[in-house]
Amino acid sequence: MSAAPERRPGGGVLLLSGADQVVPCTTVDPDGVLTGAAVAIAGGRISEVGEAGDLRRRFPDATETTLAGGVLTPGLVDSHTHAVFGRTRADEYALRASGVPYMEVARRGGGINASVRDLRSRSEDELVDIALPRLRECFSYGTTTIEIKSGYGLDTRSELRTLAAIDRIAGAVPQRVVATFLAHEVPPEHASDRGRYVDLLVEEMIPAAAEQGVARFCDVFCEPGVFDTEQARRILLRGQELGLEAKLHADELENGGGAELAAELGAASADHLGAISPAGVEALAAAASADEPTVATLLPATLLFLGRGAYAPARALLDAGATVALATDFNPGSSPTPGLPIVLTLACSQMHMSPLEALVAATSGGAAALRLDDGIGTLAEGAPADLVWWRVPDYREIPYHVGVNRVGRVWVGGEVVVDRSDGRAATSAVTASIRSR
């Protein structure tokens, strides 16, 4: 069904033509990739996708942008990031390069708690000012929807300040931003009584986050040595009770039954899964047919950066029927990468996903992991006109050029928000005031 092409005041129908390929990302079947197609956009949405000559006849008054070949895809959906943080952790990277494992760095006072000490010393204004240029970098790689977690505050005030900063960022950028409250670690002041910290989360922090009204999801780092499965269940059930949908950092480094817990709770996603068990794969495959599936969100850049040498079993998950998303996990400790294209490369080279499976996982898969309906993550009639034009002749070249940014132009709601069509990065200015509301 075609949406009626509504006319905007001072604007009209925009026709994007000339792309070598248009990839709708509604199917992983390569036959779904269109050639000779154009996209008609009106009122910020895609009103039609079809043969270019046909669309020109149907919309004779349209403004036409003729692209110099290239590939059009939906905007990328990065459904798992920790993009609001202060300083980087390159110091501990050097330590890890010398052979000290991630969890051992954390035990020595580095890791998540190092970012917590840093974030607690910063004001909301500072957090916004530091995060915005980083986010512009994320957006330059084609991300048009991004999830951002709290979790470097770990006390009520610092968590609420992080969420308030995320909310201000959401108001200052054209890209779509989704906020998540994350129970990320037990802070040093509660190290001697970890159970008491879970009580605090359940009794005070999660209710305060729900009351603030910024976060849509509640997430927990469910991993042996951090929060165990029973603690994670308690945290997520409390979130659900207060209207926050569940997400889990599950089975990242060691198996703890996190994937099974995600499926049991009807979580929106189980993320990481580097150490998922066969029973976990089965649980997520079964959960894919639920009304609202639990998505398996894979974050291979993290396992690359941590030097683990083994990746989540993407093939087993896909072949069993699970819904798979790919995301960056952008954070200062285990994945300092702002862009999804390298994640697509890892998905294909290390996890044996096809280039189209990877692209679908980073678009409509990500939208499913964020429970966004409305067509986000697809280039299809009725969806928001969030698009990326890639300077490659074939979609398979998006993951193929390892670590190269081939994004030419990005639209959100039909407006150009990133223009690198001359090969240089030039992102649109952030116009809204970010200082105060």
Residue type, 19: A
Q: Which is nearer to Fe ion, 158 or 378 (CB)?
A: 158
Residue number with the smallest Cβ distance to Fe ion: 329
By CB under 6 A, name the one of 47, 331, 363, 364 that touches ligand NIG.
331
List the single partner that 302 binds among Fe ion, ligand NIG, none, CB under 5 to 8 Å by kind: ligand NIG
Stretch that binds ligand NIG, among 111-119, 227-235, 237-245, 357-365 (CB under 6 A): 111-119
Q: Which is nearer to Fe ion, 251 or 329 (CB)?
A: 329
159 belongs to the binding site for Fe ion (CB under 5 A): no
CB 158, min distance to Fe ion, A = 18
Residue type, 197: Y
110 belongs to the binding site for ligand NIG (CB under 6 A): no
CB 225, min distance to ligand NIG, A = 11
Residues 297-356 contacting Fe ion, CB under 5 A: 329
Could you tell me the sign of the dihedral formed by the alpha carbons of 87, 93, 96, 101, in that order?
Answer: positive
111 belongs to the binding site for ligand NIG (CB under 6 A): yes
Chain-centroid distance of CA 28 in Å reads: 20
159 belongs to the binding site for ligand NIG (CB under 6 A): no
Stretch that binds ligand NIG, among 38-46, 173-181, 327-335, 378-386 (CB under 6 A): 327-335
Q: How many CB atoms lie within 10 A of CB 287?
A: 25
Distance CA(180)–CA(246), nearest Å, equals 9
CB 175, min distance to Fe ion, A = 19
CB 317, min distance to Fe ion, A = 18
Distance CA(391)–CA(408), nearest Å, equals 6
Q: Which is nearer to Fe ion, 221 or 390 (CB)?
A: 221
112 belongs to the binding site for ligand NIG (CB under 6 A): yes
Residues in contact with 203: Cβ distance below 8 Å, sequence separation at least 6, in sequence order: none
221 belongs to the binding site for ligand NIG (CB under 6 A): yes
List the single partner that 386 binds among Fe ion, ligand NIG, none, CB under 5 to 8 Å by kind: none
| Residue 17 contacts residue 64 (beta carbons within 8 Å) | yes
In Å, what is the CA distance from 177 to each residue of 83, 141, 147, 189, 214? 11, 16, 6, 31, 11
The phi, psi pair for 340, rounded to 5°, reads -80, -25
CB 329, min distance to ligand NIG, A = 5
Strand partners of residue 246: 218
CB 420, min distance to ligand NIG, A = 28
Distance CA(151)–CA(226), nearest Å, equals 13
List the single partner that 79 binds among ligand NIG, Fe ion, none, CB under 5 to 8 Å by kind: none
**Interstrand relation of 143-149 and 76-78 (parallel, antiparallel or unpaired):** parallel
| Residue 197 contacts residue 190 (beta carbons within 8 Å) | yes
List the single partner that 115 binds among ligand NIG, Fe ion, none, CB under 5 to 8 Å by kind: ligand NIG
Residues in the chain: 437
Distance spanning both ends of the chain, measured CA to CA: 40
Contacts to ligand NIG by CB under 6 A: 82, 111-112, 115, 221, 249, 252, 302, 329, 331-334
